[in-house]
């Protein structure tokens, strides 16, 4: 297969029935919330397309995603391409006022490819090799596969890069699996050499004298995801992350020079996926996008809000929900359908948290294949199913609210720090079966959500100056540079809270020789004397209502006279009895606090509410716990999105009269919100809490 040539591209573009003139800029349109679905025209007769598109248009769909599994339709045999059906599909969608996001088809290579080039197939850790018939069966490290992927992505970009009906590109689909093939192993060893320079340095940083693990060459280092030296495990995770990032860059680099500036490039991430560092991955992408599914069909709105905040945090800007659940999925133990109205609650939650787009997966049930039973908006007969009615209402409301939401985004004074390296380190060595890093993160997020409503999620190296309060739930791996960054934030006036297990490891996943929190112990003026995994709760005193700690508790010691003890463990707590559970100290214009206990929800809520008040943060509204509040702000305007997730009507006091965008008219000083209902309210200027 020959690589893409730039010669003659304008001549080729001129032949496209659905393409714009070569070099013609894409037309700019005013902002609208994007609403749509994944559409697979290649699976259906063309005479059916207009009926599908008519139904989409009636539901206010204005965007579809096409092509991410269509490689065998785009290149039926090696070097022979058929883009004509895609030309017609884009053109027909445009006739219905529907734009297109093109997915590069590399998640599902065709059979001719894997048969002719079996070296591209993924090798599992147990030595087995993936075969054709599923998806993501390729090795993420295969040079040959990358060349083939780059070729098809580049050809698509040439053909549609200046088509005014194409607005963006999704690279691959839900990337995740690791390959242990020979190419991956060789690249891992080269990666180790580039990082550590010498094998002696690697041995020193990993303490390989333990169990005679000492290596004399880089190619002796095994490639395993479990039961290895913690330094090796962390470096392997870093290598996997870097390899996936370079895999996506391989396609982004060939797409970008060939497309208009108005077209974006992204990939779609998944629920809590930690196969790669999303902060690093998204440095090379224009927007973040993710797939939002509730496998068991029981919507936990607070947890889902956390996931939206996490995705927005990848780039600190608005994002896309590029796949959302249309009723049910097919991979859970019980694939329960979402309750009536939940699709709408999820849609407005996504917008409130910063989504500018929501697309359902998928439009119509495939007649065969592994995902026959997945929820859709249209059945196998092509006619609407119950989820379509709900989607149609959402689409109508999105169209009504678009002008109000233009040029707005969530803003907050509070951030949580998420560190993928810390998460990996804790997953290697949890020390307690219940110490799940994502659960511990959620244990901080949930009670904080009820107090401040909007929360940003940032990396340890991110810009912190916009926040009054920054919380690191479990910053287990803390480098000296990160510690200096956090200390500077505190001295400039920020309020920093470190959670349990923070500052335990250095960048090599080795224990700091100083006690926790390692390089921040001096700033704190205290340290962790000992940590304890708990098999029963212990009491914690110092709150208005004494609480408990479960799973994890640390005995803290103050080392400086100006350190204040905020919480202590109660009597009957064994080694912990009477010892400090939380310390705080002023430094410069700010404060640093260390919380050594995984507090129960009630105790955590009170502890964090006190911290929020101490940082002079005031929420816009006071609402019941089952009402979600999100704010999006723009130049001289504020949009409130309120969702009643409960089963009872709620009356909410408003700070002023506001425009009711969905219902029309103006509110009073209170708003009655029916069970599982949503409201979008708008006002100009700022609202003082």
Residue 239 confidence (pLDDT):
98
- Say if residue 22's pLDDT is above 80: no
Q: What is the pLDDT of residue 689?
A: 54
Q: Does residue 390 lie in a domain region?
A: yes
- 158 and 98 assigned to the same domain: yes
Pair (138, 47) in one structural domain: yes
Q: What is the model's pLDDT at position 320?
A: 98
What is the pLDDT at residue 145?
Answer: 98
| Nearest Cα residue to 446 out of 319, 605, 578 | 605
**C-alpha angle 325/327/328, rounded to 5°?**
80
The confidence score (pLDDT) of residue 9 equals: 29
Look at residue 445 and tell me if it is in a domain.
yes
Measured at the CA of 420, the angle between CA 315 and CA 130, to 5 degrees, comes to: 100
Name the active-site residue from 68, 75, 130, 323. Answer: 323
pLDDT over 50 (residue 142): yes
Q: Do residues 449 and 621 make contact, with C-beta atoms less than 8 angstroms apart?
A: no
Q: CB–CB of 346/23 below 8 Å?
A: no
Residues 378 and 252 grouped into a single domain = yes
What is the rounded radius of gyration, in angstroms, for the C-alpha atoms of the chain?
27
Q: What is the pLDDT of residues 576-631, one digit of tens each?
A: 999 999 999 999 999 999 999 999 999 999 999 999 999 999 998 999 999 999 99
pLDDT band of 260, cuts 50, 70, 90: very high
Catalytic, 440? Answer no
| Known catalytic residue at 68 | no
Share of the chain above pLDDT 70, in %: 95
Residues 431, 302 within the same domain? no
Residue 206 in domain: no
Q: What is the pLDDT of residues 90-128, one digit of tens each?
A: 999 999 999 999 999 999 999 999 999 999 999 999 999
Read off the CATH number of the domain in which 52 is found.
3.20.20.80
Same domain, 323 and 275: yes
**What is the DSSP code (8-state) at residue 118?**
G
Exactly one of 174, 228, 390, 397 is catalytic; which is it? 174
Residues 289 and 378 in one domain: yes
Q: Cβ distance 550 to 532 under 8 Å? A: no
pLDDT of residue 688: 58
Residue 33 has pLDDT above 60, yes or no: yes
Same domain, 177 and 44: yes
Q: Say whether pLDDT at 16 is over 50.
A: no
- Write down which residue in 403, 436, 468 finishes a domain: 403
Tens of pLDDT, residue by residue over 629-671, are 999 999 999 999 999 999 999 999 999 999 999 999 999 999 9
How far is it, in rounded angstroms, from Cα 453 to Cα 455? Answer: 7
Residue 28 has pLDDT above 90, yes or no: no
Residue that finishes a domain, picked among 614, 640, 675: 614
| Pairing between β-strand 564-569 and β-strand 538-541 as defined by DSSP bridges | antiparallel
Last residue of some domain: 403, 425, 440? 403
Q: Please say if the pLDDT value at position 13 is more than 60.
A: no
Tell me: do 469 and 570 sit in the same domain.
yes
Range of the domain at 517: 414-614
- Residue 536 banded pLDDT, cuts 50, 70, 90: very high
pLDDT score for 308 = 98
User: Is the pLDDT score of 154 beyond 50?
Assistant: yes
383 and 333 housed in the same domain: yes
Q: Which of 546, 538, 545 is nearest to 555 (CA)?
A: 538
Q: What average pLDDT is seen over the chain?
A: 93
Question: Of 590, 585, 586, whose CA–CA distance to 615 is shortest?
Answer: 590
pLDDT band (50, 70, 90) for residue 687? low
Q: Are strands 63-66 and 34-38 parallel, antiparallel or unpaired?
A: parallel
Residue 7 included in any domain: no
CA 343, CA 365: separation in Å to the nearest integer? 18
Q: Is the pTM of this model over 0.85?
A: yes
Residue 476 sits in the same domain as residue 351: no
Tell me, what's the pLDDT at 24?
A: 30
CATH number of residue 657's parent domain: 2.60.40.1180
Instruction: Answer yes or no: is 356 within a domain.
Output: yes
Residue 17, pLDDT > 70, answer no
pLDDT at 23 over 80: no
Task: Name the domain count of the chain.
Answer: 3
The string of pLDDT tens digits covering residues 200-253 is 999 999 999 999 999 999 999 999 999 999 999 999 999 999 999 999 999 999
Mapped onto helix, strand or coil, the DSSP state of residue 669 is coil
């Amino acid at each position: 297969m020959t690589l893409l040539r730039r010669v003659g591209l304008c001549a080729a573009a001129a032949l496209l029935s659905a393409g714009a003139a070569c070099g013609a800029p894409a037309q700019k349109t005013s902002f609208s919330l994007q609403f749509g679905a994944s559409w697979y025209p290649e699976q259906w007769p063309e005479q059916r397309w207009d009926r599908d598109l008519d139904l989409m248009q009636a539901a206010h769909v204005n965007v579809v995603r096409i092509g991410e599994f269509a490689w065998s339709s785009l290149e039926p045999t090696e070097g022979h391409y058929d883009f004509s059906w895609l030309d017609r599909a884009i053109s027909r969608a445009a006739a219905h006022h529907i734009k297109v996001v093109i997915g590069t088809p590399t998640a599902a290579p065709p059979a001719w490819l894997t048969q002719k080039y079996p070296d591209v197939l993924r090798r599992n850790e147990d030595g087995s090799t993936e075969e054709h018939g599923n998806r993501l069966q390729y090795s993420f490290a295969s040079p040959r596969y990358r060349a083939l992927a780059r070729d098809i992505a580049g050809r698509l970009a040439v053909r549609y890069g200046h088509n005014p009906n194409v607005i963006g590109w999704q690279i691959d689909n839900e990337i995740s699996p690791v390959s242990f093939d020979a190419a991956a192993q060789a690249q891992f060893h080269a990666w180790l050499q580039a990082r550590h320079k010498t094998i002696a340095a690697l041995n020193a940083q990993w303490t390989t004298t333990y169990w005679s693990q000492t290596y004399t060459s880089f190619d002796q280092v095994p490639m395993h995801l479990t039961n290895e030296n913690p330094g090796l495990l962390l470096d392997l995770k870093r290598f996997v992350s870097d390899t996936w990032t370079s895999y996506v860059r391989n396609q982004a680099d060939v797409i970008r020079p060939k497309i208009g500036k108005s077209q974006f490039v992204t990939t779609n991430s998944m629920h809590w996926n930690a196969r790669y560092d999303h902060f690093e991955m998204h440095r090379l992408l224009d927007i973040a996008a993710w797939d939002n599914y509730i496998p068991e069909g029981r919507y936990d709105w607070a947890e889902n809000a956390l996931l939206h905040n996490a995705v927005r945090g990848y780039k600190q800007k608005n994002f896309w929900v590029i796949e959302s659940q249309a009723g049910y999925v097919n991979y859970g133990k019980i694939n329960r359908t979402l309750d009536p109205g939940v699709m709408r609650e999820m849609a407005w939650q996504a917008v409130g948290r910063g989504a500018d787009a929501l697309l359902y997966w998928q439009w119509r049930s495939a007649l065969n294949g592994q995902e026959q039973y997945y929820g859709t908006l249209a059945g196998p007969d092509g006619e609407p199913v119950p989820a379509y009615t709900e989607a149609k209402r959402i689409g109508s409301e999105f169209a009504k609210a678009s002008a109000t939401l233009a040029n707005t985004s969530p803003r907050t004074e509070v951030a949580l720090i998420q560190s993928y390296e810390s998460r990996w380190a804790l997953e290697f060595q949890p020390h307690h079966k219940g110490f799940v890093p994502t659960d511990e993160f959620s244990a901080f997020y949930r009670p904080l959500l009820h107090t401040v409503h909007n929360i940003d999620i940032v990396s340890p190296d991110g810009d912190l100056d916009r926040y009054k309060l920054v919380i690191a739930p479990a910053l287990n791996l803390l480098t000296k540079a990160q510690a200096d960054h956090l200390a500077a934030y505190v001295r400039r006036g920020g309020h920093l809270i470190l959670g349990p297990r923070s500052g335990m490891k250095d960048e090599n996943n080795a224990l700091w020789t100083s006690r926790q929190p390692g390089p921040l112990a001096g700033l704190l003026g205290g340290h962790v004397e000992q940590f304890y995994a708990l098999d029963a709760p212990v009491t914690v005193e110092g709150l208005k209502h004494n609480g408990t700690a479960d799973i994890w508790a640390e005995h803290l010691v103050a080392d400086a006279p100006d350190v204040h003890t905020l919480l202590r463990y109660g009597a009957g707590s064994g080694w912990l009895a009477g010892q400090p559970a939380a310390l705080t100290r002023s430094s410069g214009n700010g404060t640093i606090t260390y919380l050594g206990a995984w507090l129960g929800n009630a105790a955590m809520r009170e502890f964090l509410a006190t911290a929020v008040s101490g940082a002079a943060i005031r929420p816009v509204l006071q609402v019941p716990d089952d009402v979600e509040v999100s704010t999006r702000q723009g130049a001289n305007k504020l949009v409130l999105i309120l969702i009643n997730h409960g089963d009872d009507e709620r009356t909410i006091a408003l700070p002023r009269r506001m425009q009711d965008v969905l219902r029309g008219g103006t509110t009073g000083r209170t708003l009655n919100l029916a069970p599982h209902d949503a409201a979008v309210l708008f006002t100009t200027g700022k609202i003082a809490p």
